[in-house]
Amino acid sequence: MIEIADIPDIAVAGIDDIEDAYAGLKNTLEWLKEYPVTENEPVVRMECKVCWWVYDPALGDDVWQIPPGVPFSQLPDYWCCPVCETSKSGFMVIDEGNNSCKD
Segment 45-69, tens digit of pLDDT: 999 999 999 999 999 999 999 999 9
Instruction: Name the residue ranges covered by the structural domains of the chain.
Output: 4-102
Higher pLDDT residue, 30 or 75?
75
Q: In this structure, how many other beta carbons lie within 10 angstroms of the beta carbon of residue 70?
A: 24
Strand pairing class (46-48; 100-102): unpaired
pLDDT of residue 19: 75
What topology is assigned to 4-102 in CATH? Answer: Rubrerythrin, domain 2 (2.20.28)
The tens digit of pLDDT for each residue in 12-51 reads: 556 677 777 777 767 766 766 665 555 666 679 999 999 9
- Residue 94, pLDDT > 80, answer yes
Distances from the Cα of 29 to the Cα of 8, 22, 65, 73, 77, angstroms: 31, 10, 9, 17, 14
